[in-house]
Amino acid sequence: MLFQEYSGQHLCRQHAEADIEAKAKHEIRRHQWMSHGDHIAVALSGDPGSIALLYFLKKLTSNRRDIRISAISVDEGIAGYRCQEGAMRIAELLHAECITGSFQENFGMTLDEIAQTKGTVLSCTYCRVLRNFLQDRIAREHGITKLAFGNTLDDEAGLVLLHVLRGKPEILVRSGQSDRGKIPRILPFIAVPKKEVAFYAGLHVNGYNQPCCPYSNKPFEEDVKAMLNEFTIRHPATKYALLSLEKNLANACFSLADSISSCGRCGEPAGGVCQSCRIIDEVTAHGT
């Protein structure tokens, strides 16, 4: 049984599963995230969202021979954290190819080594930038046309509120636009609450628990998440309202998006070369 606070409904397993899948299908249709000939790879991080998404996409395309679903697992090189064997086992269970890569193989250094050099304060930034860069590289090498992420309603609503509180509306205005040179991203669970995605994952796949990253240190983000969750207890539709805000801003300010300063290399909002490109230059130069 699943209770939806925002709708007031108590759903049995069958109706809860159908509702979750209907939300995901609606987002795929609305954004035109699936096309003939696609090779879609799920970024299999080990959290319930990525596991549930791999199951859902395999189920959704089970009768389509024109679309291929795979998984990508990236080992950042954090001792005791990432277990690629677990990711490969989940992918095998769901009859999906699992393509792997690592920071060590591609950059000549692990995140543990980067943290020793740069300090733990910047570890999350380096990890995010390099993981995204490596996922794109792997995707291009294997003919992948889209990368799928298990981001949930909670993740997206939290990002919207975070950007608002940081005074960065330009990121919301440009939401939905693909950065040049990057494989397009799709987020089928973007309108499904985290609790429901975890429920869906638990129905179909078990046995892969991702521990907390030892470098996770984001006090501002954690405060925003806690504030949003507490507010949502009293006002259950808040996260959907934030998702609507993002959509409305992107639509209303569409004509302004191209006038916002962006990185000349990747297209991210920035004045000059963005931090991500500088990090990639630094690390790839080290590995050569």
Question: What confidence tens digit (pLDDT) does each residue in 86-112 have?
Answer: 888 999 999 999 999 999 999 999 999
**What is the pLDDT of the chain when averaged over all its residues?**
88
How confident is the model at residue 255, as a pLDDT?
54
Residue with structure tokens 């980067």?
A: 114
225 compared with 215, residue with greater pLDDT? 225
Please report which confidence band the pLDDT of residue 149 belongs to, taking 50, 70 and 90 as the band edges. very high
64 compared with 177, residue with greater pLDDT? 64
Distance from C-alpha of 17 to C-alpha of 49, rounded to nearest angstrom: 14
Residues ≥6 apart with Cβ < 8 Å to 158? 221, 224, 225, 228
3-class DSSP state of 253: coil
Please report which confidence band the pLDDT of residue 171 belongs to, taking 50, 70 and 90 as the band edges. confident
pLDDT in tens, 211-224: 678 888 788 999 99
How confident is the model at residue 158, as a pLDDT?
96
**Residue-range domains of the chain with CATH:** 2-209 (3.40.50.620)
Distance from C-alpha of 280 to C-alpha of 103, rounded to nearest angstrom: 12
Question: In 194-224, which positions are buried (b, 16+ CB within 10 angstroms) versus exposed (e)?
Answer: bbbbbbbbeebbeebebeeeebeeeeeeeeb
204 compared with 122, residue with greater pLDDT? 204
3-class DSSP state of 1: coil
Average pLDDT over residues 217-246: 94
Q: Which pair of structure tokens corresponds to residue 58?
A: 């395999």
CA distances for 122 relative to 41, 112, 132, 134, angstroms? 28, 12, 16, 18
Residue with structure tokens 């191209």?
A: 258
Distance from C-alpha of 110 to C-alpha of 158, rounded to nearest angstrom: 29
How confident is the model at residue 210, as a pLDDT?
67
How confident is the model at residue 32, as a pLDDT?
95
The counts of H helices and E strands in the chain are 13, 7
Q: Which pair of structure tokens corresponds to residue 213?
A: 């990253």
User: Pick from 99, 101, 103, 151: which is nearest to 123 by CA?
Assistant: 103
261 compared with 238, residue with greater pLDDT? 238
Query: Which stretch of DSSP H or E encloses residue 85?
Result: helix 84-93
Q: What angle do CA 259, 156, 195 make, to 5 degrees?
A: 170
3-class DSSP state of 188: coil
How confident is the model at residue 247, as a pLDDT?
86
Question: In 126-162, which positions are buried (b, 16+ CB within 10 angstroms) versus exposed (e)?
Answer: bbebbbbbbbbebbeeeebbbbbbbbbbbbbbbbbbb
Q: Which pair of structure tokens corresponds to residue 13?
A: 């397993």
Distance from C-alpha of 95 to C-alpha of 91, rounded to nearest angstrom: 6
